[in-house]
């Protein structure tokens, strides 16, 4: 491998949500853990031990009640505040290992290792990354190293699958590249979807090696230029660059099913106001402002009862991230579509018309949000909530009881984001 | 109903009418023209309305049989436009309108004419006459600045202040202001202010020609009536208080730029190719030795153009604009040169015709974008 050859590492946190829960519950080491979806509905994340029991992702929690007792499975309601914070810590540590980092998802990141270590040292560098992250955060990770992002994904897959590699595998310049690729099913290749894998299987192409040697014209015809890019990456030609700039979201949705059907208009107001608060919180975190909000309501289509669903959009004269303005608008909009006599199962809001708060157009008749008291108010609220814990200060419109709010019976503590929920050590 | 008319005469009277009839509406009957033929005076009336604006075109032609019907405005207009340049014959046969021209025949289904809303009679008693060409100029210089967003309804209208001494027509969407002041006395004008949706005014602007010099106008309680040539326009007026937009106009913009309008428009047209889609940003860097227009799109690239012929006095200035707004203003500048009065990168820019000798003053104000 020449010095100019690009090298990528894919770092993936193992069973991330379950691992986060385990960081503050060391007593659960080696024990089966599951994390539940909203309203404690289905299992969405499983520890290695739970997978070994034959439990699959997506299974409703009530269907494994007996197994839960028999195998002493610990279930958790999803705690995104905890997962988000630990993810940020992992990414922060990874950024110390390279100036070029792409945060691909909450538990995955690509690192450019080009020119960082000699070929022989790449494996050692990968191990150092793994040890540092695990020591500093307690979250176990796997590291896959290769000359393209697609191959790094494969390397990570191998690192995770075979215990002998201790969670780090270097595929860059590997003497048995063909053997490794032959062990990867086409459906497990990054960028090859379920539809393509079925088509490829029908044509007798079952593994990554077989796909990599297909003629270019055939690939272009059957899998378009995007598929061609994947095949070239399998051959070791880097075609997908690191995407280091995280684009701000163009639309932010905040919506959840209620723990019980809502028939009361005031409660529905509260829910819409709460979702507006959540969406605008995300908007401010990316330093953006928005023009538009869409409000939607729906009954439960799976129930044999009167059905109604509707949505409506509205906009502010100038873009803002000021919660009271949006709550007032959202309530007016909800009033227009609300119908009495239905059992509502879900409501939500979508914020759109998003732009950077520093690039928003100026207006003659209203100061820009970024120059206004409205930003100072929101900054102060955000600061207090960051210091003292989520929702320490919020808006009266969201109500106090929130009986409609999501069921989270197995919620762990916000160990890292709330002073009141810090882990307690008894000596 | 049965009438005949030369294609060119029919087209001349209904070509702008089509824009008044909505293409889609909760009331489908409004997508039709109401056609009323009167054999007594050999005249015909075409009416289009969206309930806010109603336009009636009345003109003479050969009517053999009277009657009234409603037909799709879109289909009728397209059919007439497609016909050869010759005499067109229209005849209602049962529930269809038969339209023929030479060897071309169409049968167009009629809608239920009884569903068409009641159209008020135009009462021109005590109507005021205003100069049609000046009215056209006032509308042309202002309408583009009105808002198309419904979130500030009053901004969707054109502000018109009338008095015996002068008239002001203005529009703003919060990002740009167009202000036209006519310094001409007109003793018949009442002292009043109205906010009128642009649609009816734009129709009149397109209709004004050299033949008819005057527009008759009458203000009623919640609407205004215009009569010009063959056309009568009823427009509702918007309720509410128009913002005191003149307070936004700076008095101390001391950086003065004069530049050839067409050179600047050409440069903007080229540079805007690489301007980001939103908010259509271009940057101007101006000092005694350089007038540079540039754009930059992170993904696509960057563009720069320098304009050599310009005059500038003041502090070096960098300012960014939404180029679409700037183009809309430059497009109505009448003089060869355009005058900018600037302050700093965040202050609004005043834009004027250069040395315009007329009995009116036009002022444009454009809010800049933040320099990034």
Digit-coded pLDDT (tens) for A79-95: 887 888 889 899 989 98
A1: contact with B, CB 8 A cutoff: no
Query: Chain A closest CA to B293's CA: distance in Å?
Result: 19
Query: Chain A closest CA to B20's CA: distance in Å?
Result: 26
Contacts of A366 in chain B (CB under 8 A): 174
CB contacts under 8 A, A 343-362 vs B, are 355, 358-362
How many contacts (CB atoms, under 8 Å) link A and B?
A: 48
pTM of the model: 0.72
Q: What is the pLDDT of residue A119?
A: 63
Let me know: does A198 contact A192? Beta carbons within 8 Å: no
Contacts of A317 in chain B (CB under 8 A): 149, 151-152, 174
B278: contact with A, CB 8 A cutoff: yes
Report the residue of chain B nearest A317, measured CA to CA.
B151
The average confidence (pLDDT) of chain A is 88
Residues forming beta bridges with residue B6, ordered by sequence position: B87
Low-confidence ranges of chain A (pLDDT < 70): 1-4, 117-120, 244-248, 402, 404, 406-408, 418-419
- Does B174 contact A363 at a Cβ distance shorter than 8 Å? yes
A98-104: Cβ within 8 A, 24+ apart: A100/A242, A100/A244, A101/A242, A101/A244, A102/A242, A102/A243, A102/A244, A103/A246, A104/A10
B248: contact with A, CB 8 A cutoff: yes
Contacts of A316 in chain B (CB under 8 A): 151
- Does B151 contact A362 at a Cβ distance shorter than 8 Å? no
**How are strands ordered across the β-sheet holding A252-262?**
A252-262, A344-356, A288-299, A309-320
Let me know: does A256 contact A312? Beta carbons within 8 Å: no
Distance CA B154, CA B171 (A): 10
Task: Check if the interface score ipTM surpasses 0.85.
Answer: no
- Does B367 contact A318 at a Cβ distance shorter than 8 Å? no
Q: How many CA atoms lie within 13 A of B182 on its CB side?
A: 24
Query: Chain B closest CA to A358's CA: distance in Å?
Result: 7
User: Which two structure tokens, joined as six digits, stand for A425?
Assistant: 């050590």
Report the residue of chain A nearest B366, measured CA to CA.
A364
B103 φ, ψ to 5°?
-100, 15
User: Which residue of B149, B278, B367 is in closest CB contact with A362?
Assistant: B367
Contacts of A314 in chain B (CB under 8 A): 151
**Crossing angle for the helix pair B132-142 and B198-207, nearest 10 degrees?**
130
Query: Chain B closest CA to A9's CA: distance in Å?
Result: 25
B243: contact with A, CB 8 A cutoff: yes
Contacts of B281 in chain A (CB under 8 A): 359
- Does B367 contact A358 at a Cβ distance shorter than 8 Å? no
- Does A363 contact B245 at a Cβ distance shorter than 8 Å? no
Report the residue of chain A nearest B322, measured CA to CA.
A361
Query: pLDDT tens digits for chain B (372 residues)?
Result: 999 999 999 998 998 888 898 887 768 999 999 999 999 999 999 999 999 999 999 999 989 999 999 999 999 999 999 999 999 999 999 999 999 998 999 999 999 999 999 888 888 888 999 999 999 999 999 999 999 988 889 999 999 999 999 999 999 999 999 999 999 999 988 999 999 999 999 999 999 988 888 999 999 888 999 999 999 999 999 999 999 999 999 988 999 999 999 999 999 999 999 988 778 999 999 999 999 999 998 778 999 999 999 999 999 999 999 999 999 999 999 999 999 999 988 899 999 999 888 899 999 999 999 876
Q: How many CA atoms lie within 13 A of A248 on its CB side?
A: 18
Contacts of A364 in chain B (CB under 8 A): 172, 174-175, 177, 245, 248, 348, 365, 367
Q: What is the pLDDT of residue A388?
A: 81
- Does B174 contact A365 at a Cβ distance shorter than 8 Å? yes
Distance CA A393, CA A382 (A): 9
- Does B151 contact A314 at a Cβ distance shorter than 8 Å? yes
Contacts of A315 in chain B (CB under 8 A): 149-151
How does DSSP classify residue B230? T
CB contacts under 8 A, A 359-388 vs B, are 359-366
Contacts of A318 in chain B (CB under 8 A): 174
User: Which residue of B172, B278, B369 is in closest CB contact with A364?
Assistant: B172
B368: contact with A, CB 8 A cutoff: yes
Interface test with A, best of B171, B174, B279 (most A CBs within 10 A): B174
pLDDT tens profile A180-232: 999 999 999 998 878 888 999 999 999 999 999 999 988 888 888 888 999 99
B151: contact with A, CB 8 A cutoff: yes
Report the residue of chain B nearest A357, measured CA to CA.
B370
B232: contact with A, CB 8 A cutoff: no
- Does A361 contact B369 at a Cβ distance shorter than 8 Å? yes
- 3-state SS track over chain A: CCCCCCCEEEEEECCHHHHHHHHCCHHHCCCCEEEECHHHCEEEEECHHHHHCCCCCCCEHHHHHHHHHHCCCEEEECCHHHHHHHHHHHHHHHCCCCCCEEEEECCEEEEECCCCCCHHHHHHHHHHHHHHHHHHHCCCEEEEEECCHHHHHHHHHHHHHCHHHCCEEECCCCCCHHHHHHCCEHHHCCCCCHHHHHHHHHCCCCEHHHHHCCCHHHHHHHHHHHHHHHHHHHCCCCCCCCCCCCCCCCCEEEEEEEEEEECCHHHHHHHHHHHHHHHHHHHHHCCEEEEEEEEEEEECCCCCCCCCEEEEEEEEEEEECCHHHHHHHHHHHHHHHCCCCCCEEEEEEEEEEEEECCCCCCCCCCCCHHHCHHHHHHHHHHHHHHHHCCCCCCCHHHCCCCCCCCCCCCECCCCCCCHHHCCCCCC
B109: contact with A, CB 8 A cutoff: no
Let me know: does A368 contact A358? Beta carbons within 8 Å: no
Contacts of A360 in chain B (CB under 8 A): 370
User: Which residue of B150, B248, B370 is in closest CB contact with A364?
Assistant: B248
Who contacts A160 (Cβ-Cβ below 8 Å, separation ≥6)? Answer: A12, A14, A142, A167
Query: Chain B closest CA to A123's CA: distance in Å?
Result: 35
Report the residue of chain B nearest A365, measured CA to CA.
B174
Query: Chain A closest CA to B152's CA: distance in Å?
Result: 6
């Amino acid at each position: 491998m020449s010095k100019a050859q690009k090298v990528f590492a894919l770092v993936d946190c193992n069973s991330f949500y379950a691992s986060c829960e385990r960081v503050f519950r060391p007593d659960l080491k080696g024990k089966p853990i599951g994390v539940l979806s909203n309203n404690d509905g289905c299992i969405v994340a499983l520890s290695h031990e739970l997978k070994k029991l034959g439990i699959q992702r997506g299974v409703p929690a009530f269907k494994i009640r007996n197994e839960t007792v028999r195998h002493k499975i610990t279930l958790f309601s999803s705690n995104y505040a905890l997962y988000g914070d630990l993810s940020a810590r992992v990414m922060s540590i990874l950024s110390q290992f390279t100036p070029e980092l792409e945060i691909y998802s909450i538990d995955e990141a690509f690192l450019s290792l080009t020119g960082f270590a000699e070929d022989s040292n790449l494996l050692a560098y990968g191990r150092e990354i793994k040890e540092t992250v695990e020591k500093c955060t307690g979250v176990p990770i796997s590291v896959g190293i290769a000359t393209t992002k697609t191959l790094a994904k494969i390397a990570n897959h191998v690192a995770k699958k075979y215990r002998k590699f201790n969670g780090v595998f270097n595929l860059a310049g590997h003497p048995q590249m063909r053997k490794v690729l032959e062990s990867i099913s086409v459906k497990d290749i990054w960028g090859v979807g379920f539809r393509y894998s079925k088509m490829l299987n029908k044509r007798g192409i079952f593994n990554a090696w077989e796909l990599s040697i297909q003629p270019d014209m055939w690939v272009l015809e059957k899998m378009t230029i995007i598929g061609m890019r994947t095949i070239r990456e399998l051959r070791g030609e880097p075609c997908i660059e690191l995407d280091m700039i995280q684009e701000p979201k163009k639309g932010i949705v905040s919506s959840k099913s209620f723990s019980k059907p809502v028939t009361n208009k005031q409660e529905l107001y509260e829910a819409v106001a709460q979702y507006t608060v959540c969406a605008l919180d995300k908007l401010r975190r990316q330093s953006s402002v928005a023009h538009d909000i869409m409000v939607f309501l729906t009954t439960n289509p799976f129930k044999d009862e009167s059905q109604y669903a509707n949505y409506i959009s509205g906009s502010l004269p100038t873009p803002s991230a000021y919660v009271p303005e949006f709550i007032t608008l959202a309530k007016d909009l909800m009033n227009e579509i609300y119908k009495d006599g239905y059992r509502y199962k879900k409501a939500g809001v979508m914020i759109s018309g998003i732009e950077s708060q520093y690039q928003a157009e100026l207006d003659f008749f209203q100061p820009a949000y970024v120059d206004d008291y409205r930003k100072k108010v929101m900054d102060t609220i955000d600061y207090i909530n960051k210091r003292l814990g989520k929702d320490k200060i919020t808006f009266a419109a969201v109500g106090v009881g929130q009986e409609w709010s999501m069921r989270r019976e197995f919620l762990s503590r916000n160990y890292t984001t709330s002073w009141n929920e810090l882990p307690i050590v008894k000596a | 109903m049965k009438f005949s008319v030369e294609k060119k005469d029919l087209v001349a009277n209904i070509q702008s009418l089509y824009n008044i009839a909505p293409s889609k509406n909760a009331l489908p009957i409004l997508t039709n023209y109401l056609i009323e033929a009167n054999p007594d005076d050999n005249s015909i009336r075409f009416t289009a309305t969206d309930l806010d604006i109603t336009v009636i075109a009345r003109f003479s032609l050969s009517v053999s049989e009277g009657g009234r019907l409603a037909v799709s405005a879109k289909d009728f207009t397209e059919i007439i436009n497609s016909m050869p340049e010759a005499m067109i014959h229209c005849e209602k046969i049962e529930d269809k309108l038969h339209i023929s021209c030479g060897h071309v025949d169409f049968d167009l289904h009629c809608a239920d004419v009884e569903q068409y809303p009641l159209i008020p009679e135009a009462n021109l008693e005590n109507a005021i006459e205003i100069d049609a060409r000046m009215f056209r100029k006032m509308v042309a210089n202002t309408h583009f600045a009105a808002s198309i967003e419904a979130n500030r309804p009053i901004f969707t209208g054109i502000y018109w202040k009338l008095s015996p001494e002068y008239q002001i027509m203005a529009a703003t969407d919060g990002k740009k202001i167009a202000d036209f002041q006519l310094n001409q006395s007109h003793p018949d004008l009442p002292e009043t202010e109205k906010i009128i949706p642009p649609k009816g005014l734009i129709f009149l602007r397109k209709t004004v020609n050299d033949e008819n010099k005057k527009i008759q106008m009458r203000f009623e309680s919640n609407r205004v009536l215009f009569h010009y040539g063959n056309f009568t326009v009823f427009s509702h007026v918007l309720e509410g208080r128009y913002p005191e937009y003149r307070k936004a106009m700076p008095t101390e913009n001391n950086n003065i730029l004069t530049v050839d309008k067409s050179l600047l428009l050409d440069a903007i047209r080229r540079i805007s190719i690489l301007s980001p889609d939103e908010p259509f940003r271009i940057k101007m860097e101006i000092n005694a030795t350089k007038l540079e227009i540039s754009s930059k799109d992170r993904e696509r690239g960057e563009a720069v153009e320098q304009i050599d012929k310009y005059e500038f006095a003041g502090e070096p200035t960098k300012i960014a604009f939404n180029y679409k707004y700037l183009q809309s203003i430059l497009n109505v500048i009448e003089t060869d040169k355009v005058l900018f009065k600037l302050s700093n990168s965040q202050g609004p820019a005043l834009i004027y015709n250069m040395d315009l000798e007329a009995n009116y003053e036009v002022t444009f104000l454009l809010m800049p974008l933040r320099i990034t």
